[in-house]
Structure 1
């Protein structure tokens, strides 16, 4: 990314003190934006050299406009990536926050120039998906309605070239590269599902999630950078002799209220022992791969539940199904069991619903038995989790979830083939 474009691109995204060369501050910026620490220090100096925000904005606009002129007469793969990095990414990032006017790039004339370049580098047969998408977002910020179908159309075209736009209105935008196809497009009943692992290659702040899917798309997205952070945190936990997962004494009261013989000390002992069974003496690449697979299973379950159960109205039910399915099929059965416990426990403590209390209690009882009973194997646990899934009834509709047979055959078996390569 051109220095003047990168400088404003970062400056416009963060309120972190860019003037500080404090080691911790530089490390945080490095991790947050996906940059080397030396690059962070260099861009800090470049921002400070501009003396003012207005000068930074003017340089950004001037270089961006020159880049558009330059690219108008060039072709080739490297040139198309130059367009993505130095024009499309910073433009969409400002569009996401409705801040194009802050740098004087809100004109439809400039939009037309960018869309013409997009058509040149990423041609389509009948439409310009970027033009339609930008128009939809601008209409939304003018007080109109918006449709996610335009973002899906844009990504459908960009995926042919290995790119994907992660876009949140009034949030942020990142253009990511397809790192791996964890699951090729696979038939699922009357629909289909594919799972993509995406990696940041342009500095930018990612949303605080490891993966997601959007309604109306058959793609499950796994964010490689966020999985990396998740695996690093887990690795750091494992290096401690005794990691205190539970420290809030409100847990003691809650566990007692739902009929569990459990306290903070015992809960932490159970957590440490079971997570170590999954990961002790395992190297970082293994831990990351397991975290990645878990997110893929979890988000794919959300997608197929939306296909099979569009009538369900409570997110709590969807999260139960996704977490328990993840625990059944993940190689890290115990660690993912605790993910299910923690999500349902948080819901139960703050929503005070009897069904949630009972579900949390049952999950904890499985963890306690796994800790206390050496004859209770992983397969026993998976079998009991499957029974819990099959007997679960949704809170409002009192409906059951579909059998996991098709999910196992279509999604889990495909993921297993990827990880066994």
Structure 2
């Protein structure tokens, strides 16, 4: 977006106003595509986990149904990656949020793989595939109707609109793009560079809210004014949670490489489905799916599960996240990381009753998202959103510092370079 950075005052304002309309449109379209993909996956999920077992007299929470469903899901995703044109896009294990636009022909296969995984109970969220889908669609469409807007601007607005829709507020996109803008060496006011992403993200957030709410609807009771002990607790919990998340990060590349040695995506996604099914049998239904609704379920009754059982849920979900992301399924890691943080935070609050639940959960979510996504702004934003209590923000701003020291030299949760898929 160097054009409006270099423009003088009046021209810059006119350029921002001229691009504001397309930015709103991109945000609305991003939210509509997200809403459609999410609703389609929920319909398929209801059929697989409610209608079908009821029709055959099976227990959807039973071990055989969980194992069988995840195995079939792995096979279906593997067949999609192997045979559908475009091979369901790039491997999510090697991709971060954003990236260059995909060819439009890749979108159907990527959407199919994402919906199958979301509905089948795979422990991945929708953020990576939906951002890639929206970026591909909007770049192709805008290239025909908004030919004067650079492709990189369109891609950036698609990312911003989708992030705003995912989390129901443009603040997440603003924080994400603040980091990107801060890394630039070109001149111009920072808010000039944030203006259009904020417009697109705001339009996406409002559209998603009007359609029925965001995907991450997790809230805790207000904590009240934190004291010194609360601050100390957060300073301990956040880095410990980050270290826990790094257990999965440390083995991720090796697990990914091990799956790829099988050669065909049909084989390694099916094996991944079997392993996810076994983990689902161990952890139960609460450890399946992307983790948003499951996090809310845990928080509805914070003291309803024993601390050791909650730690077990967190460990099973971490293993499921590593396997799902490494075995070729298409999806993101933020939503499962939130569940792991919620379970771990509730466990801490159970072990140490003097720690407020809101503080323990938000600090643990902060550490887990930081370890998995390696974005301090995103981790801080999600931790604050979960509490719904602005008073905890200051404590979390302190807690993110030792947590960042824990993760800063650790490997990222990305596949090794040179380990391609073999469609």
TM-score of the superposed pair, with normalisation by structure 2: 0.24
Higher RCO, 1 vs 2 (CA within 8 Å, ≥6 residues apart): 2
Of Structure 1 and Structure 2, which has the larger fraction of its residues in helix? 2
Of Structure 1 and Structure 2, which has the larger fraction of its residues in strand? 1
Larger Cα Rg: Structure 1 or Structure 2? 1
